[in-house]
Structure 1
């Protein structure tokens, strides 16, 4: 079996490749954007070095989903199309502060190029590929305003359910294009929607750029303050659990024409993560939410504060649990049952896990040491 993966050098994409190597005997071919084949090999090797020794079953292919024919020569494209009976399309430009126009080239145009590639396979072999698309539960970020009480695997995303942010809107359009391609027999489609993807359960390691808990935690430590309340976030899970669920369900024969939500069944309390900062020894003053947000807006020149400050739309869902800003409510009953049927259980996002998350951020120097934090607090107190 051979699997073609896009986005392998990204946060979730690397985990998907690692899970494929661990759970299957598949050859994993990865489309990698780079200046040369040597650069592509090095990029993929650098991403995968945290997982295991190099594997001969993992192959980097110099390509670019943003270009027609994926940037491949016609003969290369055709050979790859003939061999790619299973595709995991994970590549995306993920930026919750970016406008749609900044994201469309990769998220929509790149998806159209993958559809064209799949159509070429049908022309060559007469057989559609199984395409597993990695979308996001954020396509339902605004579902309350669109009249839905919750979003489950049967809910249909629209631009209204996505809201105003460019990223979920681009993913809605990509999903729509893929469904239309499936209706035309070009692909056999499965949609996987992760939500807020946080740290590896075993080690606490996470991505400082894609884990949405990280900007909140960094800002709290930098400000020396935490909000007095926060929402219960529906749609959270750790990255190893998400990757394991996607790969195992991708291998199930009846996953075609299905949608899966890769999230914890129960909402995650954001305050639990903030309290883990205090357990780690950071001195943080409980501050009314509006005052805390005012501190954020007043410190946007601080690189530890700015990320959450420029994601104000997301911050309101994470931190403001009120009737004017109800957080989205996601359900995953069908997915949970499907995972149970193949023997996969989601791990608990409990206090020990959150303590590992904080420790991992400290070891990666995303959060300051307690000594640096105390020194910063003294300086802030002396000058404030």
Structure 2
């Protein structure tokens, strides 16, 4: 088998190549512009297959501009020609859509025919159905449907070119709205529902999650994760007997637009929308007798798509990052029948996962990788541009996201952690996005290694402008289970306290010489609230707080300042082993990173949450009452199996062991967790 793929560097294309590399044999030739060869070479290394071979060409040229000699050499040897290179953007203009979608398809088809390819696989879109109202199945195409935008029109016309002009066998794939990977959430651009994410983030940051908002029933949409699309295409391309057919790569159960938005609001921790007037009202009773064009949802869509409304939307919601064109095409009037596709996929194990199973992965990836709010913040850019920011624990969690946000603002993150490979992977991401980063592997539990690190940083960097003490170790174990585990206290202090101050002390000569520098210590809300079972962890963070408070008065005259961030519970790998936290309200690493950016930009002496401040006040004015409340939590939340030193034979055994206590106390646990949001129990 041999393959030729256009659009291999694109989002769907990259995942399709990975599927072909993993599951098929033979060479995979990929079209690439000469200027994109370095990027393609990086992708080939990522795929780990020398079977992927770049072919220089250009989508806008006849025959894709591929060298005739190469075509002559490979004619008759290409079994499958996948054409994915296109514009998948509802906001693109006519000229761009025509050049990429129509001319590009004709050029690709010409090359495929010159190569005498076995099958031409055209990646179209459900947009080819335009504004067709009702069920649109896979046999349907020319149904007289209105084509309301350049994108819809060119998707329809490019598919028509294949159907009418191809002299070789063909298959067509019509994906719905393609979102990120269902496991990793990985996405490469802002598109579709992602345009709404900044608004959801603003709602989350401004309003409590329990506050209901009033929304409108905007009809149905259809989302599919990119890994499903790639896997389905790979499988369907190799099932015999389906030439000349179209496949709908869609969710068989369309999602309500408002339900889709609420799913993302839930993942973000934002308030959700209620629809007091929905389609059960607008399509029932007397309203059901109205012609379709006069029904409320269709009237509203017609108004939104009108030129005056688009102008108004551009000057309102457009300023929030939501293009007016996107609002005009939020929902689908068509219901896409995918029964033929499901039959062809039967037995493959390939199906569309429910949105609720991967919505948190989508949100998390956007928040950590695609949210560009830091780069657009003038204060953040002014404070961080060209500044060297030493970040410990930068290989994952809060530290990694802080590094990405620092680079976004033009700063130079200096990545410090034990794992060199993970640090280099983070640096690669930053450099791929046009930023800079430095990597300095170091075991921060080794004091001598920290001394060498400080010498290297002082010698290699022109300045050390910020130090983020983020690396830490947390231990959740009651004192009664710690009697013969004094090493728990020693190793926690070693990393959280001694390692942190050793790093700052080692860099102090550099900071004094440049007469500037800001240190941000990632402390814990536990220092203010004193939750039970965290004596080792809270004591180490309290020691770092106290040391910083004392040293601040000694060095402030040299322009050296500190911020202690009393961070609430964050959903990071550090808390993952404590399974009880899976149900707890936590903040995301990106939310925590935003707090760290604020600490660097504003340089307050400390950053607290309202609950942390309340806990600190309670311990000051009513310590006995505070200890009684904490003792209640101590009784309600059990020690984990790991804290007891138990190793169940299996995960199922562990679940069975914890089930009785969980069932008995779950209500109390969740009540305390919700009441004291962000506290480590």
TM bucket, shorter chain:
0.7 to 0.9
Deviation at 1:29, TM superposition (A): 0.6
Aligned: 1:16 with 2:20: no
Q: Name the counterpart of 2:548.
A: none
User: Any idea what SS the aligned residue of 2:28 has?
Assistant: strand
Larger Rg: 2
How many angstroms apart in 1 are the aligned matches of 2:266 and 2:354?
A: 16
**Pairing 1:163–2:141 present:** no
Quick one: which of 231, 237, 240 aligns to 1:253?
240
Q: Do 1:32 and 1:60's aligned partners in 2 also have CA atoms closer than 8 Å?
A: yes
Partner of 1:69: 63
Shift of 1:329: 1.3
CA distance in 2, matches of 1:104, 1:198: 24
Q: Deviations over 1:271-313 (max 9, x none)?
A: 34433444345444759899xx9996554564xx224334232
- Alignment-derived partner of residue 268 in structure 1: 255
Q: CA deviation at 1:248?
A: 0.4
Give runs of aligned pairs for residues 1-384 of structure 1, distance below 5 A.
1-35=1-35, 39-40=36-37, 42-47=38-43, 52-122=46-116, 129-144=118-133, 149-157=134-142, 160-161=144-145, 163-182=147-166, 186-210=167-191, 212-222=192-202, 228-231=215-218, 233-280=220-267, 282-284=269-271, 286=273, 297-300=314-317, 302=319, 305-315=320-330, 317=331, 327-340=333-346, 342-366=347-371, 369-370=590-591, 372=594
Q: CA deviation at 1:232?
A: 5.2
Give the equivalent residue in structure 2 for 1:381.
Answer: none
The whole-number CA distance in structure 1 between the counterparts of 2:162 and 2:268 is 48
- The answer to whether the 8 Å contact 1:20/1:247 transfers is yes
- Give 1:34 deviation, angstroms: 3.0
Task: Give the Cα–Cα distance (whole angstroms) in 1 for the partners of residues 47 and 87 of structure 2.
Answer: 28
Cα pair 1:6 1:88 within 8 Å, conserved = yes
Tell me how far apart the structure 1 counterparts of residues 16 and 100 of structure 2 sit (CA, whole Å): 20
Unmatched segments (≥5 aa) in structure 1: 123-127, 318-325, 377-384
1:332-366 per-position Cα deviation (integer Å, ceiling 9, x unaligned): 011111101x4233142242311221112122142
Change in CA separation of 1:157 and 1:256 when aligned onto 2, cut-off 3 Å: same
Return the alpha-carbon distance in structure 2 between the equivalents of residues 162 and 266 of structure 1: 24
CA distance 1:220–1:327, change in 2 (3 Å): farther
Residue 77 of structure 1 and its aligned partner are, at CA, apart by: 2.5
How far residue 221 of structure 1 moved from its aligned partner, in angstroms, is 2.5
Q: Give the CA deviation at 1:9.
A: 0.6
How far did residue 206 of structure 1 move?
2.2
Tell me: higher relative CO, structure 1 or 2? Use CA pairs within 8 A at least 6 residues apart: 1
Per-residue CA deviation, residues 140-170 of structure 1 (Å, 9 max, x unaligned), is 13012xxxx2111011146x42512111211
In structure 1, distance between residues paired with 2:201 and 2:118? 47
Deviations 1:31-65 (A, max 9, x none): 01233xxx42x22244466xx54211111111112
Partner of 2:660: none
SS in 2 for 1:361: helix
Distance 1:171 1:352, change over 3 A: closer
**Contact residue 127 and residue 156 of structure 2 kept, 8 A:** no
Q: Is the 8 A contact 1:299 1:306 kept in 2?
A: no
Secondary structure of 2:329 counterpart: helix
- TM-score normalised by structure 1 residue count: 0.79
The worse-fitting range, judged by mean Cα deviation, of 240-249 and 73-82 is 73-82
Q: Is the 8 A contact 2:176 2:224 kept in 1?
A: yes
Inter-partner Cα distance in structure 2 for 1:351 and 1:300: 27
Mapped to 1, the partners of 2:113 and 2:78 lie a distance apart of 12
RMSD of aligned Cα (Å): 3.0
**Change over 3 Å in CA distance of 1:297–1:176 after alignment to 2:** closer
CA distance change for structure 1 residues 89 and 11 in 2, over 3 Å: closer, same or farther?
A: same
Distance 1:162 1:227 in 2: 31
> Could you report, residue by residue, the CA deviation over 1:83-134 in whole angstroms, capped at 9, with x for unpaired residues?
3231001110222122333211121111111222233234xxxxx5310100
Give, in whole Å, the separation in 2 of the partners of 1:195 and 1:357: 16
State the distance in 2 between where 1:13 and 1:132 align: 12
Change (3 A) 1:162 1:134: farther
Distance 1:301 1:232 in 2: 21
Q: Which runs of 5+ in 2 are unaligned?
A: 208-212, 278-299, 374-589, 599-681
Q: Which has the higher helix share?
A: 2
What is the aligned partner in structure 2 of residue 382 from structure 1?
A: none
CA contact (8 A) 1:272 1:351 kept: no
Q: Cα 1:359–1:227, aligned 2, differ >3 Å: closer, same or farther?
A: farther
Q: CA deviation at 1:176?
A: 1.3
- Report the 3-state secondary structure (helix = DSSP H, G, I; strand = E; otherwise coil) of the residue aligned with 2:139: coil
Q: Deviations over 1:188-212 (max 9, x none)?
A: 01111101111211112223334x1
